[in-house]
Each structure stands twice: as C-alpha cells, then as structure tokens.
Structure 1
C-alpha cells in the first residue's frame, strides 16, 4: 500500500516544491485604484499622473498612460475596450496604469511626442520617459500613439513588458 504525501507547513517546505517550483509566484495583494476609474474598468488600479510617475520610480514598473477627454467619441470607444478585454485587464497588473483627462490636466500635453490628439496611449519607463519605440505598429507616420478598439493594444503591452523585463 502506498502512503499518501503529507502537506508541510510553509516554514518546513522542501525547496523545489510549492507554487514557485510550478512556475507560479505567490500572489501579492491586489493593487487598488487611487483615482476614480471614470468608466475605464473599475478593476484596474488606476493612478493620476504625478502619483503614477512616483509609483513607477519607486517600484521600477513601466507605466501605461492613457490620455483622453470626456467629450471624445474615440476615447469612449477605447474605454469600452478596457472594459471588455480580459487580457488587457490582466496585463495591466504589471504596469502602473495612469489615465488622465487632457482637459482637466493640460500639463499632460508635455506627453505628446507627435501631437496632442486624443486618445493617446503611451508607455513610459520607470523614470517617466516615453518609450517612442512602443507605438501603434499600424500608424508608423502619424498619430503613432492612437489606438482604436480594433487594433491590438495588448500586443504593444506585451512588447513593453518584454522590453522592460517584466513578465507577460
């Protein structure tokens, strides 16, 4: 008769066993939004501009910044993508997620490398520098940081994570 394997308390667990050995990481507490989501997916841990840049510097996480306005039809369409794309929401956990209304915070126009059109989705390193290589591949000449719901924003998110040494 074979004896069944017993569970060991974490302090006595044998190295090479447990969630880490299976390629899993122990789950950290889920981050929560510190600014209202304003319809941009309530489950994403949204930050304001200054707070997000400070958090990125502290945590060394990349930033995904969405610049929008309330009156913009394309912004409203992109907002629906954030609410319906489960992969996008899952990937967002590996970024400091910032959303900024350009009308309410005109200082965000400092983050307009090819114009202050909206919506703009930009990826920044942990020091707050725009990564100009991470842009919409379908728009190489104009409006390079503009995404529609039909374009693959999650592919650019994965590239950002690869480039900034995060898991995807």
Structure 2
C-alpha cells in the first residue's frame, strides 16, 4: 500500500514538474518571437527624415499634397497650376486657417477645386528663400497660385482689401476665391487668351520694336 502511494506521489510530482517546464518553454518562445519581430525602419539621416514628414502640414490628408521640391515637375507633367501655401507651426493665423480647412462649410468645394491643382505647402524651415514668394514681405500665411505670370495677377485680388498683404488669404472662402481666380487665368493662358499682364507685356514689346526701328 505504501509503495503504491509513493508511486502515485512520484507520478503526480513528475506531471507537475513537466507542466512547469512546458510553460516556461512557451514563455521563452513568445519572448523570442517578440524580440525577432521586424520593426519598421526609422530614418537615420536628414534626407530620409523628410520622407516621414506629413506632406499635408496639418491641412488635411484627404487633399493630395505634393512636397514643394517636386511640385513644379508634377505640375508640368499634369499641366496644372500650383497651389503654394506658406505657413509656420507657431503662427496663430496659420493655425486658424488649418482649423478653417477642416471645419468650413465650403470644404467640399475646396476639395473639388484641389483636384485641379498641384497642391503644395511649406512649413517652418521648408520655406523657399526665393524673393519671388515674398513680393511684399514674409508675413504668413501667404498663398500663391503659380503658372507663368498667374501669381502676380492673382495677387491683385487682395490689393484693395489689404494693399500691403497681397498674398494673404486667411480663411477658406478667401482661399477658394483665390483658387477660382487662378484657375480661370490658367485656363485662359492655356487657350491662348491674353491676360491683362500679357497684353501689357505685348504692348511693351511692340513699342520697343518700333523704337528699335527708328534707331
């Protein structure tokens, strides 16, 4: 009887011992799998870091944004005007415009118009230093519709309202107005129609030609 009890105790102990080591082995396997799990590679230099940046700049991922360095080549390929918005992360007016982009009742119209442009924006250190994009100062936000001489003509749309801030379009209704103006001018140029600036330049060329003939 005692011998049977001893054998029974030994059998129970052996079962518990085996279960303990089996559980420990499972935990070790789980840890190994976690350790060997492939994590996404993180950028290790400045060039790679740019690829991880949010191209929307906070103005909505449902708009197809193109980084500014690629905007011109994309615009040439697609034959579209460029929408360039210059803003800063610390700018109160820029933050208000971001909010307007997401909450405006005209957002649907804005999205539809965006499909007719190459949409681009620059934020903080990404801003271009070219003076062409600061015709009357580096206030922010600044909006330009680019394509030939379009942005110069477009800027006149704000001259009466804000004569010293001709590229300032602070709310979505203002932005939509600018986009419509720019698109109309772009389409006129594409169809061969003369804009006011184009006519003025042509007139100057003719006058210059006449002067040259007299000499």
Distance 1:130 1:118, change over 3 A: farther
Alignment pair present for 1:91 and 2:132: no
Per-residue deviation, residues 16-52 of structure 1 (Å, max 9, x unmatched): xxxxxxxxxxxxxxxxxx9531320111111111111
Equivalent residue, structure 1, for 2:99 = 80
TM-score by length of 2: 0.54
Question: How do 1:127-142 and structure 2 match up within 5 A?
Answer: 131-135=151-155, 136-137=157-158, 139-142=161-164
SS at match of 1:145: coil
Residues 109, 116 of structure 1: 8 Å contact kept: no
Where does structure 1 differ by over 6 angstroms across 4 or more consecutive aligned residues? none
Residues 83, 117 of structure 2: 8 Å contact kept: yes
- Residue segments in structure 1 that go unaligned for 5+ positions in a row: 1-33
SS at match of 2:109: helix
- Residue segments in structure 2 that go unaligned for 5+ positions in a row: 1-52, 189-215
Which residue of the other structure, out of 105, 109, 118, is the alignment partner of 2:126?
A: 105
Which of these two proteins has the greater Rg computed from alpha carbons?
A: 2
Aligned-pair RMSD on alpha carbons? 2.3
Residues 35, 46 of structure 1: 8 Å contact kept: no
Task: Return the offset for 1:139.
Answer: 3.3
Q: Flag the structure with more relative contact order, 1 or 2, with Cα contacts below 8 A and sequence separation at least 6.
A: 1
SS at match of 1:81: helix
Bigger fraction of residues in helix: 2
Question: How do 1:32-51 and structure 2 match up within 5 A?
Answer: 36-51=55-70
Task: Return the offset for 1:130.
Answer: 5.7
